[in-house]
Amino acid sequence: MENKLYKVSSSPHIRANRDTETIMQDVALALLPAALFGIYNFGYRAALIIIISVLTCVLSEYIFQLAMKKPITISDGSALVTGLLIALILPHTVPYWIPVLGGLFAIILVKQLYGGIGQNFVNPAIAARVFLTIAYTNYLAKYVVDGVTSVTPLAVVKAGGESVELSKLIWGTVGGSLGETSVVFLLIGAAYLVYRKVISLKIPLIYIATVFVFAGLLGPEMFDLNYMLAQVFSGGLIIGAFFMATDYVTSPVTPKGQIIFAFMLGLLTMLIRLYSGYPEGVSFAIMFMNLWVPIIEKFTRPTVFGKERKNERHN
């Protein structure tokens, strides 16, 4: 037999098929139905906002890494996902420089300056949205449906007006950010992510259930089902719960931590929606809870196998 030296490496010698790239591709794919509906609902401007936002994110990541002489990672798809998310949570009426600014803020300041993928401590798209909301409130709060400037369902609710028809909320033919209005199309994408095991339902379901319950407790009338459902189906809750609160990088890795994280998101969202100056609280809540992740993880470390139960002599 020939005297060849074979390759060695430490075990294990096999790897699962999944990698960062396939995960990001799945997320991007899952956002498509909502994006397409946004274009259908709000017209060509929505398409342009999406294209500008995605291009800004991917290009700024590429140029930054080139300038910093770092390995180029745009092929992992994470910048694409950030770009898509930023566009989907902006109103289609914003000036075209708004998604550019948001993309730069998310990719350069929030993601790359902290070390790139995996190193950011708040979700880049959420941080961009919060920054834009505060800095350019006038542009961000302008929602138009059918050519008429209108207020979002949440703003209506907040102002104490008549609530919007539930069916409209579910299909998404209401005012709002261009990709966040359609519950149906967002859930199609979310179902795909669950099927592909990219996300688990734990965080989204606890988040949404908490909002539902607190809407019932804190709403104008105790447990008004219509009001509770309106709170769940309007604003950015569905896109936030399924696509942003589940962001790997900025949510806890510990099973118990995820429960606390999701519950706090629900509580904070309702507190902001009901008692702050803003009609919507999803972005603020997610960003705020992102900051708590390290401390949540520290106190929710899983129990080591063998310590969880008394060693029974008989069973």
Site residues (CB under 8 A) for another protein?
1-16, 18-20, 22-23, 73, 76, 78, 115-119, 248-255, 297, 301-309, 311-313, 315
Which CB, 6 or 275, lies closer to another protein? 6
Which CB, 68 or 135, lies closer to another protein? 68
Site of tokens 């702050």: 276
Quote the least distance from Cβ 13 to another protein, whole Å. 4
Which CB, 158 or 196, lies closer to another protein? 196
Biggest CA-to-CA distance, the chain: 85
Which CB, 1 or 159, lies closer to another protein? 1
Quote the least distance from Cβ 127 to another protein, whole Å. 17
Peptide bond into 12 cis (omega under 30): yes
Site of tokens 């407790």: 217
Quote the least distance from Cβ 119 to another protein, whole Å. 7
Quote the least distance from Cβ 197 to another protein, whole Å. 9
Which residues, other chains included, contact 187 with Cβ-Cβ below 8 Å and sequence gap of 6+? 238, 242
CA end-to-end distance (rounded Å), the chain: 55
Which CB, 275 or 305, lies closer to another protein? 305
Quote the least distance from Cβ 298 to another protein, whole Å. 10
305, two tokens: 């196998």
78, two tokens: 């994470």
Site of tokens 């949404």: 208
**Could you give the CA distance from residue 277 to residue 93 in angstroms, rounded to a whole number?**
22
Residue among 108, 95, 105, 80 at smallest CA distance from 49: 95
Residue among 76, 86, 128 at smallest CA distance from 106: 128
Quote the least distance from Cβ 297 to another protein, whole Å. 8
Which CB, 280 or 297, lies closer to another protein? 297
Locate the DSSP E strands across 109-205.
143-145, 148-150
